[in-house]
Structure 1
Amino acid sequence: MLTLLLSGCGAGNSASDSSNESESASGNVTLTYGLWDQVQQPAMEKIIAKFEEQHPDIHVEIKLTPWNEYWTKLETAATGGNLPDVFWINGASLPKYASNNQLLNLDDYAKDTSLDFGNYPQGLVDIYTYDGKHYGVPKDMDAIGLWYNKSLFDQAGIPYPDETWDWNKAVEAAQKLTDPAKGIWGLPAQFQGQTGYYNTILEAGGGFYTDDGKKSLYDSPESIRGLQLQTDLIHKYKVSPTLAQMTDTSPKDLFRSGKVAMLIDGSWNVKDFATNEYTKNNVDVALLPKDKLRTSVIHGLANVGAANTKHPKEVIEFLDFLGSKESADIQGEDGTALPAFHGGQELWLKSVPQFHLQNLLDMANAAKALPRGPQNAKLDGLEEEYLKSAYTGESTPEEAAKAYAKAVNEAIASNP
C-alpha cells in the first residue's frame, strides 16, 4: 500500500495476461482477476461463484500476487499490454494507469451497467475519479477510529471515549493512562498519514493540496496545528513512545499486548483484534476525538477494468456485480473488509458483535479522501523526509511543515 499510509498482504500466483486468455471452444469467456490479499481470497471466490451462477457464459480466474510483488508485476504487465481483465487498485496508483489510458472509463459504459456511484461514500468515489471520469468501482473502505483498551480505562476509573470527546479530553485521558513504570502508553503518535497526521490535519481544518493540485497546503496554520496535535503527544505530553521506540516495536503490537491504552487505527484490524488472545476481550473502538471538526481520511480498494481487454462487455458485467449490494453482503459476512456499498455493511457490523463497529462506519461516512498529489516523481519520499524531523524533535512542526510545503511547491513548479 501507500508509503506511510497502508499495509497489504497476500501470497500466491503471479498475475497473468488477460489478453492472452481466449474464448473456449464452447464460446464461453474467461476473465482474469488480479488481486493481492490471500486473506480475502475465500470471500472473492464466493463472489465469483455467485456471479458465474448468474452468468454461466463467463468464467473468472483469480490471479493472486503477493503485495510485495503486485505493483511491479502490474507495471510490467501494463507496459506489455497484458494487464488482467479486472484487477484491484489503490488510490495512489490510479492516476498513473488512468492518465496512460490503461483503464476502462466506466462513464463510457453507463448505459450498459446499473452502477450508481451514489451508492458509495463520496470521498471514496473521488479517489477513483480522474480528470472528471470514473475509473474504479469502490470495493471496500478503510475507516479510522479510536481503538481503546477497556481494561486499562476501567483500572484508571476513566469513562470510555464517546461522542463528547474532543482532542483535549483524549490528551487528558492519555496522561492519566500513561504509566512509565509499567511501560504503558496513553496514545501513540504513529508516524503515518492514514493512521496519524492526515486525520488531525483535517480535523484542525487544514488540507494537503489546493483544488488544482498545484500548491501544498501544509504551510497553512490549520495544517501545522494538525501536525502538532500529533507530535505534542511525544514531546509535550509524553503519552506516546518516541519515534525510535515505535520503530523498534510498533504501537499496534504494544496495543495487542495491553501496553497501549488508545490507538488511532483502521477497520482492517477488526478480524485481527477479534481473534487476538488479548484484544478479543479487552478492547473496543470509538469515534475519533474531534478538534475543529470530527473527520478522518478514507481510503479503500477499487476494482478496475483493463482498457485493452478483449472482453469489455463481460468485464463491465463483472464490475457491475462486484459493485453490487449482493457482492457487498458476501464481503461483509466474511468480515475481512468493510464493504464500500451504502447499506451493504449490515452483515459486517454483525460480524464481530463485541466491538461497536458502527463507530467506524460513522467515521467513514464523515471522512474525506486520502490525499493524492499530482503525478510527479520528484514528490516521492518528500513527505517522510521532511516531516520526520517533527517527530524526532529535530525541528518544530511549523518548521517541518513549511519546509515540506516549500519542497513540494518547488517540485511541482519544476514539472508542471
Structure 2
Amino acid sequence: MKYLLATILCALAVLSVVVSALKPGAPPPGKTPLVWVSDNNPQRAPQIESFNKLYPDCLLALDPNNTGITKVIVQTCAKVGPDIIDVYGIHQLQTYVDAGVVLDVTDVAKQRGFDPSVTYPKAEGEITIDGRQYCFPCNVNTNILFLNKNLFDKYGVPYPPERPTWDELVATAAKLTIRKPGSKLPECFGMASIGWEELVYMAGGRFFNEDGTRCVVDSPEAIRAFGFYQDLMYRYKVMPTPLEQSAMSSQGGWGTGWRNWFGSQKIAMIAIGKWALITFRQFADEQRQERDQWLHDHPGQEYPDLPPLRMGAVHLPRFVDQPNRCIIAARSAAVNRLSPNADKAVNFLEYLASKEYCDTINEGADALPGNTKYATLDYMQRFAQKGEGEEINRLTLEATQWGIVRELSPFVDGQTALRLITTQVQRLEASPDADVADVCRAAAQDVNEEMKRNVAGEVRLQMLWNRLTMKRTQAT
C-alpha cells in the first residue's frame, strides 16, 4: 500500500508540473482566468462569449480534454484542476462530493438566485446531496418517445396516443418492424433506445431500499422490468438485439448509434431526450438539401425517397397498472472547492440561471434550461424549427412532473453499482434463454457484496450502517 501511495504522490507531482507548463499565459489586467471542463459542444463558444460579456472581470475558457472523473479529481487534488466542473447526473455528483472537490454553494445560491427553487422541483435531487446544494443545471432532461411521422405514414400506421401503454406501443411497433424474406435485418425497426434503468422505475421498482443498505433489483417489480426489456428484443422482436445493432453498424446506409438510425429514417420510434434534436436537425437539413438537389436535377418527376425527417412525439409508455414515470437528469456545473478563483467561479453558476444562458439552451435544443422561468411552452416554441411538432417541447416539460432522480446509497458509488448491474444485464441482451430472475439475483448480490466490502473498509460507513440497520430492526 505504501508503494502505491508513493506512486500516486509522484504522479500528482509530475502532473502538477505538466499542467502548470501547459497553462496559458497571464490574462489581461483586471481579469480573473476561469477554466470550464466540459464537452466541445458547438454551443459552448456562444455560452462562453456571453458569460465573458456579462462578467467582464472574468475570462472563461473551455477545456474539453480533461472531462474524465478520475482525471478531474486527481488534478483538483494536485491543485491544478479546473475552476468549473461539468457533472453528469447525481452519481457523478456523489463521487465528486465524496472526494471533497466541489464547493457547497447552498448559502450563496439562495443569495444570488440559483437555488433549487429556481429549477424543476423533481430535479432538486440532481443538484443536492443530504440537503446541501453543490451545483446548478446546465440543462435538464426527461426522455420522451420521438416518432418518425414519415415511416408511420409510409406504412399506414396510426400515430399512438399521447400517453400510451406498453401494450399499445408494442402493437404499434410490431406493425412498423418491416422484415423482408431473405434479409437478415428489417427494412425498419419499430422502436429503439428503451433503457432497462428507466423500465425499472416504470414498473414501480427501485435500485436500493429506503435506507440504501441493500440493492433490490431482484424485487418482483424489477424482474418484471428486466423481463420486458428482454422481450422487446427476443419475444416481440421490435427492438434491435446487440447482434442486430452490430450488423446495422456494419451495413451501408445505417450508420452507427440510435440517433443516426432514427435520423436516417430506419427506426420509427426512439426513446430519447429533446437534446437529440441537435442531431435530428442536421439529418433533416441534409435530407432537405438532397431532395431539393434531386428535384432540381429531375424536373417534373416525383421524389422517390422519403421526405425530410418529420418528427412528432408522445410520452414514454406506462405499464397498464402503473402511472407515468421517467428519469429526470441534469448536466450540471460545480465549482472546484480548491480553486484559488472559487469565488469568481460561482459567477458561472449564477450565469446558468440567466436569460442569456437559457436562450442558448433553447436555441440549440439542448434539453431544457435549468431555470424554469425560461422553460415555458410559449417561450421555448420561439426557438422551434420547421418539422418539429410543438408536442416535443410540451411533453418534455410535462414529463418533469413525474420525473424520478436516480437513487443513491451511501455505501456504494452509483456508477459502480450501475456497472455491476450492467455486467449481469448483458446476459439478458445476449440471449433469449438467459433466466431473468437469475440475472436479477446475481446483479443484486454483486452490488450488495460491493457495499459490504466498502463498509468493512471504512469506520464511518460501519457506524452509519449499524445505525441504519438498527433503526430498521427497531421499526419492525
TM-score range, shorter chain: 0.7 to 0.9
The one-letter amino acid paired with 1:184 is C
Map 1:401-412 → 2, pairs under 5 A: 401-412=440-451
Deviation by residue 1:372-392 (Cα, 9 ceiling, x = unmatched): 454448647312211111122
Could you tell me how far 1:146 is from its partner in structure 2?
A: 0.7
Partners of 1:367 and 1:284 in 2: how far apart? Answer: 21
Which residue number corresponds to residue 231 of structure 1?
Answer: 230
Question: Is 1:305 matched with 2:298?
Answer: no
Which residue number corresponds to residue 42 of structure 1?
Answer: 45
- Return closer, same or farther for 1:383/1:176 CA change in 2, 3 Å cut-off: same
Which residue number corresponds to residue 315 of structure 1?
Answer: 345
Could you tell me how far 1:236 is from its partner in structure 2?
A: 1.3
Rg (Cα) greater in structure: 2
Report the structure, 1 or 2, having the larger helix content: 2
- Return closer, same or farther for 1:221/1:298 CA change in 2, 3 Å cut-off: same
Query: How many residues align structurally?
Result: 390
- Return closer, same or farther for 1:174/1:382 CA change in 2, 3 Å cut-off: same
Identity %: 23
Partners of 1:360 and 1:157 in 2: how far apart? Answer: 27
Which residue number corresponds to residue 363 of structure 1?
Answer: 399
Structure 1: tracts of 5 or more residues without a match:
1-14
Question: Is 1:100 matched with 2:99?
Answer: yes
TM-score when normalising by structure 1:
0.84
SS of the residue corresponding to residue 218 of structure 2 reads: coil
Partners of 2:425 and 2:111 in 1: how far apart? Answer: 46
- Return closer, same or farther for 1:158/1:47 CA change in 2, 3 Å cut-off: same
- Return closer, same or farther for 1:143/1:220 CA change in 2, 3 Å cut-off: same
Could you tell me how far 1:368 is from its partner in structure 2?
A: 0.9
- Equivalent pair of 1:390/1:400 in contact (CA under 8 Å): yes
Which residue number corresponds to residue 283 of structure 1?
Answer: 311
Partners of 2:244 and 2:362 in 1: how far apart? Answer: 36
Equivalent in 256, 269, 286 of residue 263 of structure 2: 256
The one-letter amino acid paired with 2:437 is E
Deviation by residue 1:266-300 (Cα, 9 ceiling, x = unmatched): 22211211220459533322211122121211222
Which residue number corresponds to residue 219 of structure 1?
Answer: 218
Structure 2: tracts of 5 or more residues without a match:
1-17, 181-185, 250-256, 288-306, 456-476
- Equivalent pair of 2:148/2:309 in contact (CA under 8 Å): no
The answer to which of 168-177 and 201-210 deviates more is: 201-210
Could you tell me how far 1:403 is from its partner in structure 2?
A: 1.5
Which residue number corresponds to residue 277 of structure 2?
Answer: 270
- Return closer, same or farther for 1:280/1:77 CA change in 2, 3 Å cut-off: farther
- Return closer, same or farther for 1:256/1:329 CA change in 2, 3 Å cut-off: closer
Could you tell me how far 1:172 is from its partner in structure 2?
A: 0.7
Could you tell me how far 1:171 is from its partner in structure 2?
A: 0.5
SS of the residue corresponding to residue 374 of structure 2 reads: coil
The answer to which of 268-277 and 361-370 deviates more is: 361-370
Which residue number corresponds to residue 139 of structure 1?
Answer: 138
- Equivalent pair of 1:90/1:300 in contact (CA under 8 Å): yes
Partners of 1:274 and 1:198 in 2: how far apart? Answer: 27
The one-letter amino acid paired with 1:177 is L
Map 1:302-381 → 2, pairs under 5 A: 302-346=332-376, 347-353=379-385, 354-355=387-388, 356-357=391-392, 358-373=394-409, 374-376=411-413, 379=417, 381=419
SS of the residue corresponding to residue 252 of structure 1 reads: helix
SS of the residue corresponding to residue 382 of structure 2 reads: helix
The one-letter amino acid paired with 2:442 is A
The answer to which of 165-174 and 262-271 deviates more is: 262-271
Deviation by residue 1:239-291 (Cα, 9 ceiling, x = unmatched): 12222112343343332222222111222211211220459533322211122
Equivalent in 178, 184, 187 of residue 183 of structure 1: 187
- Equivalent pair of 1:33/1:84 in contact (CA under 8 Å): yes
- Equivalent pair of 1:89/1:303 in contact (CA under 8 Å): yes
- Return closer, same or farther for 1:168/1:130 CA change in 2, 3 Å cut-off: same
Deviation by residue 1:5-64 (Cα, 9 ceiling, x = unmatched): xxxxxxxxxx967xx899978544332222222322123224313422xxx3x2132132
Question: Is 1:387 matched with 2:425?
Answer: yes
Could you tell me how far 1:175 is from its partner in structure 2?
A: 1.3
CA RMSD after TM alignment: 2.7
Could you tell me how far 1:75 is from its partner in structure 2?
A: 2.8
Which residue number corresponds to residue 128 of structure 1?
Answer: 127
The one-letter amino acid paired with 2:419 is G
